[in-house]
Every structure is written in structure tokens, then in C-alpha cells.
Chains A and B, each alone.
Chain A
């Protein structure tokens, strides 16, 4: 799922062919729902509580990213997404932030607190606070009409109608599935019921009306823990970011490590399967007649990556297995294929030179529960988030001369201890079933 972030890095271009369709459907919606007449009332009634959050390049004052936000407390605290203001933590000298109200007032913003895991941030300005939005509590029936408000693609304040579709069943972090078009720039804006109560905060979209909201209870929790409104210094913010990520990885890694070993069959091996409910697993098989081998793939991912900065995402749990079996290849020919597949590729760890060190690996032959591996465990450290590592485990079984399983485990943003414990648990769950 792509974060609905500021300008410049989104899939607008790909969206272009659908724009006409988009306008057509919006047009239809306006007419068919005109009898209900609530949308314009909602917007008119609450527009003074909305802001656009702008991240400006400090030296020129030009816009580097935009998001949305809303007044959520009588004291004037504004809620937005962490990923909207992440630049202010990562590069406080290069960026500054301001808010723009619906009546065109601008004010410098200050960061008060944030929750990187649920992608929320609290900011403050010296604007006279309007009456805040009220956070909804209690249950909502599936299909209930809702309105998401924000400034999509920096096109001005916009209200989008959609429906509530409950909490995501398998996500690691609770999210509301909202069926409505949330677009980049709407991040941090409120999603409200007809009575103006905030159900969630716009956070991400998977396109085609599949959008995600942060439930209001996390906003409430964040508001509750803020005492006083002292701005967070960049150093304190960085330390808090690290603490939150360390606590978070401890929680989900404990779930993974303590979970019973779930394995699935792959070729004549048993391999780690859906170890936790928050993992999504997919499989595929290839048997190209031009190739003299068969291939079966399985992979599981958490799909709950955490946005840290423009250059880094973390919190990734991903593993994949590849079964390779020769069809009439001798052992040397099979192993030249097997070796070519055992290259240094691994999926999706995004980080820059300022974020992480280079990888360092430990490689050896390992035997566990009758499975012979050549295994390489590689680690790199987070430079700005000390104590957090990215880990990649690559292993290939050597039990047979004409077939085998290769596996890749990727953990982003975990403690070294958790990386080791899970790598051990992961490898020891393999079985050879000759």
C-alpha cells in the first residue's frame, strides 16, 4: 500500500488514464446522492477546523510536501500523519513546516509528539484555536457513510464520500478499511461521520477506492499522553523515534518467536509457513518448457512496513522459499543453476547511506534436524537509530544433488538479539522429507 504522501513521489502519472473515469463517477455520485444533501453541510460546518500541512524547503520556502491535518483539542493541537512531518525530524535544518487554514491564514508549525507505529503526529501553531473535532467512540456498522477531508494533490480542500468497512482483519497495526478515494496530500486529514465525529485519520491508499484510516483511538491515546505543549527538539524526536521502533519490534518479534512453528510442504521439505496472522502468504509455480527444471515459490510478508523517512522504510518481515528441481540435468548443471539463484538478491529493504551501514555476513555450513544448509546471515546497523538492524538470512539446502530449497528471510528494523533468535527459530523449523 502506498502512503498518501506529499507531492512529487506518487503514482499520479499512472492514474492519469483513470482520471476521466474518476470524474465521471464523482459526477454521478453527486447527482445520485444529492437527495441526502449531507456532504456540503459536513464540509461547510467543519471547514474552519481543517488545515493543510506544508513541508517547505528551508532555504527557499518552496513546497517539498503537503498533507492535511485537523484541530483535535481545545488547546489548538492539530493531528496529522507522522509521514507528513517526518522531514522535520530527519532533516530539521533542511525543512520547516507551516499550516494553511481554509480561510488562507498561514502559521509556522511545531512538532509536539508523534506515534511512528500508527503514523500519527501532533503539531501546534499560534493560530487562535477553532472548536476541535470530536473523536468518535463506539462501534460503527459496516457500510456506514463517511467523509474523508483533505487537500488531495494540493488541489485545495476537498471532501470525499465513502463507506466504513471495518478494521483490517490481518494487519499488524489496526487500520480501518475505508472505501473511498484518498489521494496523496490527504494524509493526516480526518475521516468523519455525518455528525462530524472523527472515526479515523487518512493514512494510505491501495488505489481504486481502497483506502486506509488510523482508528481514532490512537489519536485519543496520543492526545492523552501529551502534557504541556513544549515542542519536541529534533534530538528528542530522534530518540523518541528510536524508542518507539525498538518497543514495536520487540512486540511483533516476540509474537513471531513465541508462535508455534507453522510449516508448509515445499517439494520434499517442510518450510516456515504462515507463522503469524499478520503475515500474508502467496505461492506460485513455474515450469518453463525451455528450462530443464521446475520451480515452486512461496512467500510471506507482513505488508505492514513503517515509514521512517523519505529514504527509509522499516518494520518489514518477509520470507520466501524457492524449490528448484532438475528435469534431466546432471548434478553439475543443476548446481550451476542452484548457484545462479543463490545470488545476493533480497526484496525491498529501502534505506540510504545516511540511514544504514553496509552489510556484513557470517557464512557457513549448518546442519539442523537433518537438513544441510549453506547459510549466510547478514546484518547492517541503523546509523540514526542505534540498536536497530536490518537482517537478511539466505540459505540453500544441500541434502540432494538434483533438487533443493533456497530461502531468504528479511527483517528490517529489529534488535540484533531478535534477528538472531528468529533466524535460529526459522532455520530449525526446516525438515527434509525424503
Chain B
């Protein structure tokens, strides 16, 4: 086989839109139907550039005196003739054209960590989705049962479960569409598994914080703990979804997920702060009540309680 050059029409993102191998020289690139590579761009001339092979075996590109010219990237230098190297990117009209010789080196093969991860293995399985979804429904249903003091009917229980459960397929669907766009696969099952894990995680975190707040009669630290757990959960869920919905490197995904989670936490803290600025006549005490077995800190004698409360006037004065 004689010398060849590979001509690639690139999209704005750098993806290859069209690729042909040029083996006959001189070759002409342009909008005209007699060109060797026909480029559909109204800013390109009918015959835009010609590539010739000289005696020394070098490829020479020349602009054929076009109206809009030919430019060498990345510096956007206008060219009339150019000796092609192993890798040349040009701009013709509004089109990016890459010309590569067969000896142009390619980047090392990217290792597909997703396919190799155990998590991905389980997360893509229908059986996992089935069990995780069942677990989620169970937890949501149990929570409804525990927090209802009316006569609980089966239909009410189902309705309460559905209110949360119905969100999961919608949420997973949105991520699947994003995945289809950015990573060319839907991975619906994986997104559904991650959504279910998120719901389960939220219920566990919420319950943990409630019992912590009661056990230690704590409010400020309970709020912090809740924000932290919520942030961690947001990080995990976002990381999982992005992993399946994009082809970004895991480290990059971690960064995006972490900064989003931190942003959410900051927003939550800021909202609390702004709300606290307004006058209100609510009583800021932790309202959690659990069976006494879950109390961790010791009960105080009444005198100690009153003695501690006697500092309130001073604290109020410092605040105002």
C-alpha cells in the first residue's frame, strides 16, 4: 500500500464526525461533488484545499485561493501551503479538519474501571435492583407504620409507600437519559439501584440523628450531624449516578460530587442562618422524644437543671 493520510472532520467537542483514508494524490477537499472528501459547509469553497505528495514523500497541503481561507490550529495562522506533519488540525470555513499520518501515535488505552468494579457488577444486576427496591419499600412502609397513630389501613400504607417509591423510577429515568447523552448507555437499573440506596440512606440517617438528638438531648450537634450525613449521602448518590451517566475519570467525578455536596450543605447552612436572622417567637428546643431506654446522658437533679437555666438571662443579654 502506498502512502496514505487520514482525514477527519471533527465536531466542536473534538469528536470525529467523519473519517476517510486518502490514498490517491493529489486529493482535493471541498464542497464540490468532484472532491475526494466532500464537506457539507457553506463557508467552504467547492475546491478548498489540495493535498499532493512530493518526490521526497512529503504531503503538501495548499489552499486553492479560497474566499474564506485555511487556518492552522491551534494558533489560527492562515496558510497557503503547508507541509503536513504526523498530526495537523486546520480550520476550513466553519469546519475542523484533522489530517493524520498513519504513524501518528495514539493515547494509551483507557482502563474501564467501571466494568471492573464489583459495585458496578452488582449495581447493573436486575436481582440487585429487585432486592434493594424491596428493602427500600420495606423501610418506607415500616417508617409509615411507626409514625402513624391512626388506625392504619392497608390502602393508606400503600399510598404512603407509593408517594416515595414513585419518585425512584422518575429519578432513575432522568439519569438514564443523561447517561444516554453523555456516556451512550442508559444504565437504568444501576441508576434505580443508586436511587433506592439514596432513599434507604436518608431514612437511616434521619433515624440515627433523631435518636442521637434525643439520647444526648442535643440540638446544635444533631443539626451538624444531620447536615454531615446528608452531605455524605448526597456525595455518594451523585458519585454513583455520574459514574454511570458520564465517561469522566473517577477522580473528576469525585471532585464534582464532593463540591456539589459541599455546596448543598453550605446552602442548607446559609438558609438556616438567614431564617435565624428574622424575629420569631418559636421555642428553639430539640423536640425529640423516644422511649427512655434510648436516653444516653444522665438525668439531672431539678436543682441542677434550674441552676443551668439561670444562665439564660445572661445569654440573652449577650445575644442582643
Contact = CB atoms under 8 A, between A and B. Distances in A.
Interface of A: 290-293, 329, 331-339, 342-344, 346, 349, 351-353, 356-368, 372, 374-381, 383, 389, 392, 394, 396, 398-399, 401, 416, 420, 423-424, 427-428
B289 A344 contact: no
B287 A366 contact: no
A75 to B, nearest CB: 43
B274 interface: no
Given A365-B297, A367-B301, A389-B313, A357 B149 contact: no
Given A292-B151, A333-B146, A357-B316, A344 B300 contact: no
Closest 3 CB pairs of A and B: A376-B285, A353-B279, A367-B299
B305 interface: yes
Interface in B35-50: none
Contacts of B316: 357, 360, 379-381
Given A378-B283, A420-B310, A401 B302 contact: no
26 contacts: A291-B149, A336-B146, A342-B287, A342-B289, A344-B283, A344-B284, A356-B281, A358-B284, A360-B315, A361-B283, A363-B286, A364-B217, A365-B297, A365-B299, A367-B302, A372-B292, A375-B305, A376-B286, A377-B309, A378-B312, A379-B316, A380-B316, A389-B313, A416-B310, A420-B309, A423-B306
Contacts of B291: 331-332, 335, 398, 401
Given A343-B287, A380-B316, A351 B281 contact: yes
A332 B294 CA distance: 11
B308 A338 contact: no
A335 B319 CA distance: 34
B212 to A, nearest CB: 14
B59 to A, nearest CB: 78
Contacts of A394: 283, 285
B217 A365 contact: yes
B305 to A, nearest CB: 5
Interface of B: 145-151, 214, 217, 219, 279-292, 295, 297-303, 305-306, 308-313, 315-317, 319-320
A190 to B, nearest CB: 38
Contact of A367 (B219, B286, B300, B310): B300
A377 B307 CA distance: 11
B145 to A, nearest CB: 7
B312 A360 contact: yes
B133 to A, nearest CB: 24
A366 B299 contact: yes
A120 B302 CA distance: 41
Given A335-B291, A344-B287, A351-B281, A424 B308 contact: no
A366 B305 contact: yes
Contacts of A344: 282-285, 287
A381 B289 contact: no
Interface of A is mostly: mixed
Nearest to A404: B289
Given A336-B149, A338-B289, A389-B313, A374 B217 contact: yes
Nearest to B282: A344
Interface of B is mostly: loop
Contact of A364 (B300, B315, B317): B300
A428 B306 CA distance: 11
Given A372-B292, A376-B285, A427-B302, A362 B149 contact: no
Contacts of B313: 379, 381, 389, 416
Contacts of A357: 316, 319-320
A394 B286 CA distance: 11
Given A339-B287, A372-B292, A399-B292, A333 B312 contact: no
A339 B95 CA distance: 67
A383 to B, nearest CB: 7
A336 B289 CA distance: 8
Given A339-B289, A357-B320, A427-B302, A362 B283 contact: no
A337 B152 CA distance: 14
B290 A335 contact: yes
Contacts of A339: 287-290
A368 B308 contact: no
Contacts of B151: 290-292
A383 B279 CA distance: 13
Nearest to B305: A366
Nearest to A363: B285
A377 B146 CA distance: 29
B283 A396 contact: no
B302 A376 contact: no
B309 A329 contact: no
Contact of B219 (A363, A378, A381): A363
B281 A359 contact: yes
A331 B279 CA distance: 37
Contacts of B311: 362
Contacts of A329: 149
A336 B145 CA distance: 10
A416 B149 contact: no
Given A344-B283, A379-B316, A364 B308 contact: yes
Which interface residue of B148, B289, B297 has the most chain A CB atoms within 10 A? B289
Contacts of B320: 357, 381, 383
A337 B149 contact: yes
Contacts of A416: 310, 312-313
Contacts of A367: 299-302
Given A292-B149, A367-B300, A401-B292, 12 more contacts: A335-B291, A336-B147, A339-B288, A344-B287, A357-B320, A366-B299, A372-B299, A374-B217, A380-B281, A381-B317, A416-B310, A420-B309
A294 B12 CA distance: 70
B310 A363 contact: no
Nearest to B317: A381
Nearest to A339: B289
A363 B81 CA distance: 83
A398 B148 CA distance: 20
Nearest to B280: A358
Contacts of A293: 149
A48 to B, nearest CB: 47
Contact of A428 (B299, B302, B319): B302
B218 to A, nearest CB: 9
A396 B289 CA distance: 8
A10 B184 CA distance: 69
Given A339-B288, A381-B320, A368 B312 contact: no
A416 B317 CA distance: 12
